[in-house]
Structure 1
């Protein structure tokens, strides 16, 4: 049974269907639970609808797990870590592991946040057993008698207290849950690309990256830091007890009826853990080159490049320059039933129908290079490689192009011609580059001047741009098509500046030139171009 069907409401309905409760009793129990937020077993006891032991058996049967009548094999070390105060308050007892899972004895099998919190603290999946709450209460009473009274409620150090506070906040599912949900919703509503949650010395600063720039959303008291961090870790399936090492995860949230994915990065800092969430809102993305700002003649050049039966096409630019979105837009244009298309990414940012998509997992040895080798054995026609990061991946990409495949990928370089030097630095010989490169796009994203503002956008406050003077972004780019003269130049080891000059003669419009044209057309500002494009170097 899935978690979505394991709810107190579904359980009570099952009891009604089995003849153990009347419909009136079910409605009464639901009303009391809604008013008190008590677990269903406590509500049933208060209403005297069913004895504890019988109720535990019924819940175990409904949840398809064991019913526990004797508490044994307790994991004392883990119990100390989560704290007896927490464990007793939530009627949960960790026991020794069974195989690859942690056995938890619980009174409320529907307390998913509590179970999840302890599971993550143990870094093991949980296998639950249901026990009557009275049995669990008796266990803690007897345990307290055997301990020194001074040790029954005191925490041994601040780290344990912090763990317990964090777990309690997560388990309560109240203010912190609403706070995190509100931040996620605000970010999506305001079309942000990233959420930054940054612990400062005495507060937490929350910032959103919109149109490439960070703006402070709000500053909240520091005492909320542990709870906010834990909530996000739980949602991202990260280890809430690990605060010394960086962690990466992913979460999915329902925002106004739409499923939105977030890529999560957690990193320790001197003031606590800093969190960055990259928003992967597929509903807000148009995989359309024209919508990105590409002109018809540019789209014709790209189409000519990718209609070649083999070779490599690269997108270059810094992080956040829209490379992946442009690649997917190109891929969506050539995606048809006659081609076998694979993507190898970290992570998979968009879903495309009819495309086989693979996410790399370096922690288990599934790197870009190993994944690409496997893909080549799957009879592909077109391969989208999220990024060429190392010499091994570069060599395999070249090999794929030489053996009849079209490879689309990205590189972190400042210009289109700079990609050639970067691949040379990775050990790819010039003659192989000349044989395989088909085209290189250098791209940046410029904020567009708000059409609802005057010619001095920064001085006008309007509802569309909230006084920023800019609304939305568009691509500014240069396309280096590898023509025969350029191919010969690459093979002769010509330097970057010589290749750039030759490309301009062959029809390439440099980034700086196109950006200047956008300023002249009133589509952006010289200040924005100066911020994004190196007008002297490019």
Structure 2
């Protein structure tokens, strides 16, 4: 393995629009395309090959492999401009690397097949917007589309705090500052504290990983800023539970009050193949903080949230995951089997019969 071969492999991935590459010892490189992991016809990688790739990724991020290395998330850029999010790790004593292709431009909501109401949500003057979902289901891409929307329509100072930086933004109407954890700042929490002294209007935090970061995001939203961030949760109910559950039991009622006061919306994402298998579609749950939703959060009546989300579809353009799954199925875009696989509820078929 040398740098030219590595870059040739990465260029192929970029041009073929695969989503991920896997480099592991005793296997050839794997590519993920249209949701499927595809084994390449290249030679099996040796321990020296994967160590070489790991070293190049760390080198580009001003870091070196040392004896106690375990794992690292970083970005990697090709001379041609192609960019990747790299996860470097050890497995069975050898290096492994998974690299995610970062699209060359920040897409619009329309290009991503996301509901138009996200533009209205992104224009909130302050508060907390949460984008949630499992790993690899479009959270970063959706956040980037929201930042693009704000950048195009508002004269704001936008600060992003990421680990690593993924999409590169160019300031348009807004001024955008992008900081990377581990390179430009020590942690999400310390960067958030510093951001409040940098005249921000909008703060984008790549992920709320711990209680301190969650609390700092809530405080930033309480002091009049718009904060956008992500969580690895499945939907609105699990998102509220995750946030509140990070705090000691004797403070959870106060956290629910604070969260209800500043929440703008939760946007929960899953990706599904269309019927042709050629395209990937987002399935989106959208909960907006209406007075009814706020009351449910304050009083801990989270089991009622889905009902209020579904009832608010026409007036507030909210939608539950099931509502969107049924819509996509009725439009002939996805199969009923995929709809059943993604639903959180046991009565999707009953809803289908009721809506027919």
The verdict on a shared fold, with TM-score over 0.5 as the criterion, is yes
The question of 1:194 aligning with 2:4 is answered no
The question of 1:338 aligning with 2:163 is answered no
C-alpha spacing 1:306/1:193, structure 2 compared with 1 (3 Å) = same
Alpha-carbon shift at residue 322 of structure 1 (Å): 0.4
CA distance in 2, matches of 1:445, 1:320: 8
On the 8 A contact 1:387/1:409 being kept in 2, the answer is: yes
On the 8 A contact 2:106/2:144 being kept in 1, the answer is: no
The question of 1:396 aligning with 2:221 is answered no
On the 8 A contact 1:180/1:228 being kept in 2, the answer is: no
C-alpha spacing 1:399/1:253, structure 2 compared with 1 (3 Å) = same
Tell me the secondary structure at the aligned position of residue 480 of structure 1.
strand
On the 8 A contact 1:312/1:437 being kept in 2, the answer is: yes
| CA deviations over 1:20-54 (Å, ceiling 9, x no partner) | xxxxxxxxxxxxxxxxxxxxxxxxxxxxxxxxxxx
Give the match for residue 184 of structure 1: 10
The question of 1:230 aligning with 2:36 is answered no
Give the match for residue 206 of structure 1: 29
Alpha-carbon shift at residue 219 of structure 1 (Å): 5.3
On the 8 A contact 2:50/2:95 being kept in 1, the answer is: no
Tell me the secondary structure at the aligned position of residue 107 of structure 2.
coil
CA distance in 1, matches of 2:179, 2:185: 14
On the 8 A contact 1:417/1:440 being kept in 2, the answer is: no
Alpha-carbon shift at residue 360 of structure 1 (Å): 1.3
Give the match for residue 329 of structure 1: 145
Give the alignment's Cα RMSD to 1 decimal.
Answer: 2.5
C-alpha spacing 1:420/1:232, structure 2 compared with 1 (3 Å) = closer
Tell me the secondary structure at the aligned position of residue 490 of structure 1.
helix
C-alpha spacing 1:347/1:246, structure 2 compared with 1 (3 Å) = closer
Taking structure 2 as the reference length, the TM-score comes to: 0.84
Give the match for residue 318 of structure 1: 134
Alpha-carbon shift at residue 228 of structure 1 (Å): 4.6
Alpha-carbon shift at residue 248 of structure 1 (Å): 4.2
Taking structure 1 as the reference length, the TM-score comes to: 0.57
The question of 1:267 aligning with 2:267 is answered no
Tell me the secondary structure at the aligned position of residue 193 of structure 2.
helix
Alpha-carbon shift at residue 518 of structure 1 (Å): 1.3
On the 8 A contact 1:518/1:524 being kept in 2, the answer is: yes
Give the match for residue 439 of structure 1: 265
The question of 1:493 aligning with 2:317 is answered no
Alpha-carbon shift at residue 250 of structure 1 (Å): 3.3
Give the match for residue 252 of structure 1: 77
Give the match for residue 39 of structure 2: 216
Give the match for residue 478 of structure 1: 285
On the 8 A contact 2:75/2:165 being kept in 1, the answer is: no
C-alpha spacing 1:280/1:444, structure 2 compared with 1 (3 Å) = same
On the 8 A contact 1:444/1:476 being kept in 2, the answer is: yes
Alpha-carbon shift at residue 364 of structure 1 (Å): 8.9
Who wins on radius of gyration, i.e. which is larger?
Answer: 1
On the 8 A contact 2:24/2:50 being kept in 1, the answer is: no
On the 8 A contact 2:106/2:167 being kept in 1, the answer is: no
Alpha-carbon shift at residue 218 of structure 1 (Å): 3.1
In structure 1, runs of 5+ residues without a counterpart are 1-174, 451-469
C-alpha spacing 1:332/1:178, structure 2 compared with 1 (3 Å) = closer
- Residues 403-414 of structure 1: pairs in structure 2 closer than 5 A: 403-414=223-234
- Residues 33-112 of structure 1: pairs in structure 2 closer than 5 A: none
In structure 2, runs of 5+ residues without a counterpart are 349-356
- Residues 293-312 of structure 1: pairs in structure 2 closer than 5 A: 293-295=113-115, 299-300=116-117, 302-312=118-128
Alpha-carbon shift at residue 370 of structure 1 (Å): 0.8
The question of 1:510 aligning with 2:327 is answered no
Return the match for 2:197 from 364, 373, 377: 377
Give the match for residue 142 of structure 1: none
Alpha-carbon shift at residue 271 of structure 1 (Å): 6.6
Alpha-carbon shift at residue 484 of structure 1 (Å): 0.9
Give the match for residue 356 of structure 1: 177
Tell me the secondary structure at the aligned position of residue 181 of structure 1.
helix
On the 8 A contact 1:243/1:268 being kept in 2, the answer is: no
Tell me the secondary structure at the aligned position of residue 38 of structure 2.
strand
C-alpha spacing 1:533/1:225, structure 2 compared with 1 (3 Å) = farther
On the 8 A contact 1:344/1:386 being kept in 2, the answer is: yes
Alpha-carbon shift at residue 389 of structure 1 (Å): 1.3
CA distance in 2, matches of 1:216, 1:393: 39
Alpha-carbon shift at residue 216 of structure 1 (Å): 1.4
